[in-house]
């Protein structure tokens, strides 16, 4: 059973994202109603920001339900200028990955269309770079089609420490995804400007540390979200993922053209689902045709970094990570070779 005292205790564990003080310290609670384990709240934050409000709503709802609430309703208000001033004003922002002082290399993984395995490539390229000694972060920027947490078997959510969001670490990779901030795999129905703010938060409010490289799993195509990610990045490197099918390569060329227009370096093409190899006979079959990767790399005047087979990863006992090719898997060896080429190009 949820009580007022339990709600107040939960509010002490959640911070105003702009003042970095908990919601009791900032006197955020404007209204509180509890009726048959239904909790209704009205909270005041230091600034009006739909993305931050969503983050607070998800965090509070999760914690209140663990404390006994059946359902939670939430409305938001804004603290007055006088209230913010009395609380010490807004703290100075910390250094972000987008700062000119940042030494992190951005590696964007893009595709012309969905379904070519771009997220699988992002995850396993990050792991391969880590195996070669690089400190790696992975940003799942595919806002509508986030899949990285599931692929890596991540069940935890980020925590807030020292006023910064802590990325979830798995297999030595620091990961942030939109999937951490929605409940029960709900669809994301936001418009572009709100999603743009969310991406800014991923860069500015997350304590990435100082990774050598940050892999960005971009949305497929050349839509608003992909454009927004590209526009936020400093000069970055880009890898285009395609399948062997000529049409897929033709569509992927659009993503490459966008990268060129925005003055990002295309460092190579990866051809996924290049062939199917029978485990019994060793025979190879080109299920999706041939030549797409070579055609695309020629069009973009770059290298074909590698060709990956169509094959499900082998499971590792005791580890749930359905999208990960672990060391010892022949496909992991191919990713290691791709990662070596990427490092040389960096």
What is the C-alpha to C-alpha distance for residues 88 and 79, in angstroms, rounded to an integer? 13
Q: Which of 47, 186, 169, 216 is nearest to 56 (CA)?
A: 47
Comparing C-alpha atoms, which of 304, 309, 283 is closest to residue 293? 304
Contact partners, residue 238, CB within 8 Å, separation at least 6: 107, 108, 109, 110, 256, 259, 264, 265, 266, 267
Interval 255-283 mean pLDDT: 85
Residue-wise pLDDT for 4-47, tens only, equals 999 999 999 998 988 888 999 999 999 999 998 899 999 999 99
Q: What are phi and psi of 286, to 5 degrees?
A: -85, 85
CB atoms closer than 10 angstroms to residue 282: 7
State the pLDDT confidence band at 55, using cuts at 50, 70 and 90.
confident
Q: What are the pLDDT digits (tens) for 150-186?
A: 999 998 888 888 768 899 999 999 999 988 877 666 6
- Homologous superfamily assigned to 105-345: P-loop containing nucleotide triphosphate hydrolases (3.40.50.300)
The alpha carbon dihedral of 110, 157, 210, 231 has a sign of positive
Query: Distance between CA atoms of 132 and 109, rounded to whole angstroms?
Result: 19
Torsion of CA 275, 276, 282, 285, to 10 degrees: -70
Range list for CATH 3.30.300.130 in the chain: 4-86
> Tokens for 266?
């295309």
Strand partners, 240: 110, 269
Q: Are 110 and 237 in contact (CB under 8 A)?
A: no
Phi-psi map region of 91: left, alpha, beta (phi>0 left; psi -120 to 50 alpha): beta
As annotated, the residues of the chain forming the CATH 3.40.50.300 domain(s) are 105-345
What mean pLDDT, rounded, does the chain reach?
Answer: 86
Q: How far apart are CA 287 and CA 273, in angstroms?
A: 8
For residues 132 and 20, which has the higher predicted lDDT (pLDDT)? 132
Chain-centre distance for alpha carbon 25: 31
pLDDT at 90: 80
Q: What is the rounded distance in angstroms from the CA atom of residue 301 to the CA atom of residue 307? A: 17
In this prediction, residue 335 carries a pLDDT of: 97
Closest listed residue to residue 265, CA positions, set 243, 240, 244: 240
d(CA 331, CA 312): 10
Domain covering 4-86 in this structure, CATH number: 3.30.300.130
Other C-beta atoms closer than 10 Å to the C-beta of 328 total 9
In the chain, the percentage of residues whose pLDDT exceeds 70 is 89
């Amino acid at each position: 059973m949820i009580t007022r005292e339990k709600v107040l205790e939960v509010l002490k564990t959640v911070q105003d994202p702009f003042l970095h003080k908990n919601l009791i310290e900032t006197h955020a609670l404007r209204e509180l109603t509890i009726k048959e384990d239904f909790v209704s709240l009205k909270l005041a934050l230091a600034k009006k920001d739909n993305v931050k409000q969503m983050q607070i709503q998800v965090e509070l709802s999760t914690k209140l339900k663990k404390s006994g609430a059946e359902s939670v309703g939430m409305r938001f208000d804004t603290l007055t200028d006088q209230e913010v001033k009395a609380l010490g004003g807004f703290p100075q922002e910390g250094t972000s990955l987008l700062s000119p002082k940042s030494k992190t290399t951005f590696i964007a993984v893009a595709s012309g269309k969905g379904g070519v395995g771009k997220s699988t490539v992002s995850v396993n390229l990050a792991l391969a770079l880590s195996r070669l000694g690089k400190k790696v972060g992975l940003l799942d920027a595919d806002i509508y089609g986030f899949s990285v947490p599931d692929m890596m078997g991540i069940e935890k959510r980020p925590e807030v420490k020292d006023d910064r969001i802590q990325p979830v670490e798995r297999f030595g990779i620091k990961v942030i995804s939109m999937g951490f901030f929605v409940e029960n795999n709900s669809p994301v129905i936001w418009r572009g400007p709100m999603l743009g703010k969310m991406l800014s938060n991923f860069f500015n409010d997350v304590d990435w540390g100082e990774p050598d490289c940050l892999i960005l799993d971009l949305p497929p195509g050349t839509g608003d979200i992909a454009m927004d990610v590209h526009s936020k990045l400093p000069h970055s490197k880009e890898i285009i993922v395609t399948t062997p099918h000529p049409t897929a390569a033709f569509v992927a060329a659009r993503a490459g053209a966008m990268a060129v227009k925005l003055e990002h370096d295309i460092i190579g093409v990866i051809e996924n689902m290049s062939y199917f190899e029978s485990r019994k006979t060793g025979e190879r079959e080109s299920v999706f045709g041939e030549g797409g990767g070579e055609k695309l790399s020629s069009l973009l005047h770059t290298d074909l970094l590698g060709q990956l087979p169509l094959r499900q990863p082998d499971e590792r006992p005791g580890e749930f990570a359905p999208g990960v090719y672990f060391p010892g898997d022949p496909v992991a060896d191919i990713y290691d070779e791709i990662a070596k080429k990427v490092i040389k190009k960096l």
